[in-house]
Amino acid sequence: MNKTVHKRAHITSDVAAAAAALKRGGLVVFPTETVYGLGADATSDAAVSAIYAAKGRPATNPLIIHLATAEDTARLVEMNDAAERLARAFWPGPLTLVLPYRPQAGVSALARAGLETLAVRVPAHPLAQALLRAFDGPVAAPSANVSGRLSPTEAEHVAESPLARHVAAILDGGECAVGLESTIIGFNEAGEPQLLRPGGIAREDIEAVLGQPLRAATTPASQPTAPGQLASHYAPRAKLRLNALAPEEGEMYLAFGPDAPMTTGGKAVPGLNLSPSGDLAEAAANLYAYLRILDDTGVDTIAVAPIPATGLGEAINDRLRRAAAPRPAKQRSAPQGEQT
Ligand code: AMP
Ligand code: MG
């Protein structure tokens, strides 16, 4: 398929130059273990506002603030016992904690969407760590995709998208190892941990550390509807048909596991297998990249095999349901979905 490469954004490995661009108020795309992030100085209203403009993201949706260490996060939010335990177990890593914001901690109100809570994460990717240390401050960073589209898991995904025009640099860290956005944990008014979004750390692993089951998320009026909770999100151009045991004529198949059919009607099944061995971590890492590849064939419908609901399968199924949900007409009719 024809792809427009927006040459103004430079794919680079120069961390010092990227940190300097952040200091100047610019946008920098950087790899994390989950997906590529679109970073800005979290203390600058102007820089944060450029994130919302570049993504077409509603200003009511707050951003995750990225920091180099758990000690850095404790300066911005009030930790609690459960949060401390989770931070010790999973940071650096694909876990986001939503905690009470310390007033005067300097994070742009725009990044917080005016809330009294703040979402914080310590990413593990060495380039993300290097950038955060070189910048030496909080970096607001949602996924580096146009709102509603698939999150990027390779630097080229961003370079090929209209976002590239808006960024000073794209740090290339190869393919993201986890491939799904972070798991988001918040706390209800009784202080009980709640799963706000399934993601790169399985619920079972979090519950094992907490020693108690996670509550389902309640959405008090004081909290936003997370973009990750919107019905249509993470969507390719093609329609998705879920829980398909085999593709129909004209469909591409996103298969899973060793028992996936290899032929249909005597012909090889067209498509890709997320994990021929049935490994959910491998399937998560491949999910967005494989959806892009199948979408780029121009097919009308991608049939997706059933994925187990346990472990990382909870987040994979969450993203697939949102990708399959009905969406605004303009998204589906745009060629490539992203080229505006
Ligand atoms: P993204 O960075 O695109 O993966 O999205 C960040 C997610 O974190 C969104 O679903 C936000 O709504 C959610 N989030 C950020 N800050 C808060 C907060 N203070 N309370 C609840 N959810 C939040
Ligand atoms: Mg996102």
Please tell me the predicted confidence (pLDDT) of residue 215: 84
For Cα atoms 292, 237, 326, give the angle at the middle one, nearest 5 degrees. Answer: 125
What's the gap in Å between 54 CA and the centre of ligand 1? 17
Q: Which of 66, 197, 222 to mutate to test the pocket of ligand 1 (most atoms within 8 A of CB)?
A: 197
Which CATH code fits 4-216?
Answer: 3.90.870.10
The token pair at 143 is 């996924």
Cα-to-chain-centroid distance, residue 116 = 23
The predicted model scores a pTM of 0.91
What's the gap in Å between 198 CA and the centre of ligand 2? 13
Pick the atom of ligand 1 nearest to 227's CA: 10
Q: What is the mean pLDDT of the chain?
A: 90
Q: Whose C-alpha lies nearest to ligand 1, atom 9?
A: 226
What's the gap in Å between 273 CA and the centre of ligand 1? 31
Q: Report how far apart, in Å, the C-alpha atoms of 161 and of each of 140, 257, 277 are.
A: 20, 31, 32
What's the gap in Å between 81 CA and the centre of ligand 2? 28
Please tell me the predicted confidence (pLDDT) of residue 268: 86
Q: Whose C-alpha lies nearest to ligand 1, atom 1?
A: 142
Quick: pLDDT tens for 159-196.
999 999 999 999 999 999 999 999 999 999 899 999 99
Pick the atom of ligand 1 nearest to 57's CA: 3
What's the gap in Å between 228 CA and the centre of ligand 2? 7
Q: Which residues line ligand 1 (CB under 6 A)?
A: 61-62, 64, 98, 115, 117-119, 142-143, 181, 184, 186, 196-197, 223-224, 226-228
Quick: pLDDT tens for 229-257.
556 667 899 999 999 999 999 999 999 99
The token pair at 39 is 């970073």
Same fold? 4-216, 239-324: no
Upper half-sphere CA count for residue 12 (Cβ side, 13 Å): 19
- 3-state secondary structure labels for all residues of the chain: CCCCCCCCCEEECCHHHHHHHHHCCCCEEECCCCCCEEEEECCCHHHHHHHHHHHCCCCCCCCEEECCCHHHHHCCECCCHHHHHHHHHHCCCCEEEEEEECCCCCCCCCCCCCCCEEEEECCCCHHHHHHHHHHCCCEECCECCCCCECCCCCHHHHHCCHHHHHCCEEECCCCCCCCCCCEEEEECCCCCEEEEECCCCCHHHHHHHHCCCCEECCCCCCCCCCHHHCCCCCECCCEEECCCCCCCCCCEEEECCCCCCCEECCEECCEEECCCCCCHHHHHHHHHHHHHHHHCCCCCEEEECCCCCCCCHHHHHHHHHHHHCCCCHHHHHCCCCCCC
What amino acid is encoded at 239 in this protein?
Answer: K
Please tell me the predicted confidence (pLDDT) of residue 217: 80
Q: pLDDT band for position 1 (50/70/90)?
A: very low
Quick check: 263 pLDDT over 70? yes
Closest ligand to C-alpha of residue 98 is 1
Q: Which CATH architecture has domain 239-324?
A: 3-Layer(aba) Sandwich (3.40)
What does the radius of gyration of the chain's CA atoms come to, in whole angstroms? 19
Give the Cα separation of 203 and 153 in Å (integer).
22
Quick: pLDDT tens for 67-119.
999 999 999 999 999 999 999 999 999 999 999 999 999 999 999 999 999 99
Any idea where the domains of the chain sit in the sequence?
4-216, 239-324
Q: Report how far apart, in Å, the C-alpha atoms of 47 and of each of 101, 263, 273 are.
A: 20, 51, 40
What's the gap in Å between 320 CA and the centre of ligand 2? 14
Q: Which of 63, 143, 201, 229 to mutate to test the pocket of ligand 1 (most atoms within 8 A of CB)?
A: 63
Give the number of other Cβ atoms within 10 Å of residue 46's Cβ. 11
Closest ligand to C-alpha of residue 97 is 1
What amino acid is encoded at 8 in this protein?
Answer: R
Pick the atom of ligand 1 nearest to 143's CA: 3
Please tell me the predicted confidence (pLDDT) of residue 143: 97
Give the number of other Cβ atoms within 10 Å of residue 244's Cβ. 18
What's the gap in Å between 251 CA and the centre of ligand 1? 34
Please tell me the predicted confidence (pLDDT) of residue 136: 98
What's the gap in Å between 215 CA and the centre of ligand 2? 23
- Average pLDDT of the residues in 302-326: 96
Burial of residue 163, with CB atoms counted within 10 A of its CB: 0-12 exposed, 13-18 middle, 19 or more buried: buried
- Average pLDDT of the residues in 3-27: 83
Task: Give percent above pLDDT 70 in the chain.
Answer: 89
Task: Give percent above pLDDT 90 in the chain.
Answer: 82
